[in-house]
Structure 1
Amino acid sequence: MVTAGLAVLAGIAGLLLALAVLWPLRARGRAGFLVACLSIGLASASLYLLVGDPRAAQEPAAPSLAELRDGVQALEQALEREPQRADGWVLLGRSRGELGQLDAAAAAYSRAAALAPDDAGVLVEAAQARAQADPEKHFDDRALGWLQHALQVQPDAERAAWLLGIALRQRGRDAEAVAVWSALLPRLQPGAAAALQQQLVIARAAAGAKAPAASSGALQENATPLLSIGIALPPGFDPAQWPQGAALFVLARAPGGPPMPVAVRRYPLQALPASVTLSDADSPMPTQPLSSHAQVEVLARLSRTGTASHAEGDLESAPVTVQLPQRSELKLQLR
């Protein structure tokens, strides 16, 4: 019934179109004019009945899970015929990942990486898939090797650098992670750079705030102390009452700016210093060294968790704003 009605509408539309197009010819003969118009209208209706389908105007429905699985099966069959197609294995890996089949996705990406060992994009996806398949989301040695090689063949591969930093931090190689991320930072957009800066601060702190050799060239040129800070502990302070992982952070940040420090030092509970110096070598962001600031806000925090983030139970000094370079020693009292 619906199809017949639409056929009538198609015929009417054809008739109206014929009237508009053939109207100038009516003077040559009314009978011929009417026959031509009716013929076009009937032809339109007949053509619709032959090939028309009202469902063609509807948006296609999203494929079902069964259809996705059928597509994966068809792709696997195609790869059996052409197993040397690296792009096919990449597509299979993505499809398996979308189906939540992480082990199968990692296996497919491994095949792609073997076929395209110098394709940075493939290596990065393979490494990430391998980590996602791991219960602890750990980048194993093979994934680490893929990421390192991806940066060798494409030094500006941002995703490779980001994931490599994570893989290095998982191994406790924080100084190396800082070197990789410090090289990446200037190339990022502001939003991504801000997120990476926070991770750099944490990585630098975990590395003991020592600038790695691979990234310290420019900073070492101005390693002269710009700040000398004396740290006073509360009266009766007993280290035995604190967790073994506690740590002291001494940091400088831009007054009124973001919370990320422009210089930071970290000391374990077992080696709390009486005084600390800060220089460009302690800057977690090479693009914003301590010496680039005329004024900084300085504070010290004894963290119970050993992380740079403030937590309940920490001891902290009041922040003090000073001019750089600071000529005399600044005194900070932990409370």
Structure 2
Amino acid sequence: MILMLLVAIGALVFPVLKVRQSSAVAYKDSNLKINDEKIAELDLDLKEGRINQHYYKAAREELDRELLIDIPVESKDTAALHYTGTAKRHPALALMIAIFIPMLALLLYLDMGMHAASEDDFVAGQPSVNEQASIEEMTQALEAKIEKDGGTLQDWIMLGRAHKHMGNHSQAANAFAVVLEKDSDNAQVMLEQAEMLALMNNRKFNAESRALISRAYALQPDNPNTLWFTGVAEYQAKNYRTAIDRLRQLLPLARGDEDVIKSVIAIVAKSRDALIESGEEMPELAELLAIEGMMAEDVSSRANVDGNEQRSEVSTIATRLQVTVNVSEAVKQKFNANDVVFVYAKAKQGPRMPLAAQRLTLGALPATIILDDSMAMVEGMNLSAFEQLQVSARLSQSGSAIAQSGDYIGQQSVDRSKTSATDIALTIQIEKLVP
């Protein structure tokens, strides 16, 4: 996902900053021809009903990414010109390229530097130092352009997304606010603005961010992003029936994406439990999640893989992790005392959102901190809800919300099934380089 964002930002910003007439470089026409043929096939499939609108949009995004990847290094100038033309012919494509299929971790990880993937994927998929520097350079150049001529709508969108990528939530929110002044019906930017406001508000949707999400839903009620954000926002507001309704709408759009399905099931299950506790009658979870084309047993089996039934039994036992964090002397010498250390716990299986987290500085190490159920970012999705936990500590020189090459990390696993203790002590040594 991060690399996709890098490609998207680069592809959309470079034409703005660096498009110039050039006849010295020839772009490979065959790539463009093949791409246009594939688009024509998709258009025909959509017209004749062989695919739906959601599949069509996803396929168009994938074709665009393939085209960008196929651009040879020596042909960047001409490719940028072609891309600008493509964006003019298909304005929705230029906006949709940076759209994500949101997951719970996507809403939460930016603030604490956590990724929705496994730690192995997380480390392996990081942008290089050069790529990160390139994004920063493009952002600075884009800011200079905006200061000079006021910037186009697309300039401001890309500036907001670049700042979001780098973890600059306030700057991203400011840029998105300008976009919405210029384009008040941009549902996707409404969601991104709501995301930034939530990250600036202890990861909670306030009245302003919920209003943005509600407006986005009114504009695009079938958009997977809109459905996801609406479901999470309504869950936080304890409007459990609305949360269930929106997430049930999302479920058929998430076929094949196990992480999204697991996250949807987790929130629907918690919403159902809350309604039952308030005295309302609710159908069984499998029946509640049954949708056309997906058998109730199939959905239920996914819920059981996540251990929903087991979690309901253990969640009444509060868990506290006493985590002692240290760093090797060799690593310590490479950083400054004010550099940031992120400490967080996640479930080894199930939804990949952080269950508890704290932020320290290198100068405070060695330090012992507590991770407990009170730090849950979503009610019910806490340490006590899972038996298998992964606890990590990451040292970041830049303090970026996205892990980068050059950061250092340490990890420990916790198996709660092997101990009856509710207070669990562990030690993490930060010494592994993020390549």
The TM-score normalised by the length of structure 1 is 0.45
Greater RCO (Cα-Cα under 8 Å, separation 6 or more): 2
Normalising by structure 2, we get a TM-score of 0.36
Q: Which of structures 1 and 2 has the bigger CA Rg?
A: 1
